[in-house]
Amino acid sequence: KQEVTQIPAALSVPEGENLVLNCSFTDSAIYNLQWFRQDPGKGLTSLLLIQSSQREQTSGRLNASLDKSSGRSTLYIAASQPGDSATYLCAVRPASGTYKYIFGTGTRLKVLA
């Protein structure tokens, strides 16, 4: 059974700092992995999607890496800003022909001005 874990659960950093959010999954047989951002009381916004055959994806100040063999993904945020404050969730879609995503519990990020 696939399980997704995110560490740390919460993180508080000063503005301008580079930071790394971690995501671990127990079964390496995945189709893809997505990183999402959720603002309080709102839905999720997809940040990056990494296909199982890829090693990383980049969008602006965000870079996500994927190491399937070790069951890990990291989201790197460069030069953090107060507007980056949100909960970040990673989600894994298993490779077994399913169309569901299994979500981690998220990392709640606060960037201090």
Partner 1 sequence: KAGVTQTPRYLIKTRGQQVTLSCSPISGHRSVSWYQQTPGQGLQFLFEYFSETQRNKGNFPGRFSGRQFSNSRSEMNVSTLELGDSALYLCASSYSVPVGLAGGNIAKNIQYFGAGTRLSVL
Tell me the helices (H) and strands (E) count for the chain, helix number first: 0, 11
As a whole number of angstroms, the distance between CA 65 and CA 113 comes to 27
CB of 8 to partner 1, least distance (A): 15
* Contact indicator for 22, 7 with CB cutoff of 8 Å: yes
- Please tell me whether residue 103 binds partner 1 under the rule CB under 8 A: yes
As a whole number of angstroms, the distance between CA 80 and CA 32 comes to 26
Candidates 17-25, 38-46, 64-72, 74-82 — which segment interacts with partner 1 by CB under 8 A?
38-46
Q: Which of 60, 69, 99, 113 binds partner 1 (CB under 8 A)?
A: 99
Q: How far is CA 111 from the centre of its chain?
A: 17
CB atoms within 10 A of CB 95: 15
CB of 40 to partner 1, least distance (A): 11
3-state DSSP assignment of residue 55: coil
- Please tell me whether residue 105 binds partner 1 under the rule CB under 8 A: yes
- Please tell me whether residue 58 binds partner 1 under the rule CB under 8 A: no
Give the nearer residue to partner 1 in terms of CB position, either 76 or 103.
103
Which residues would be at the binding site for partner 1 (CB under 8 A)? 32, 34, 36, 41-46, 49, 51, 89, 91, 98-106
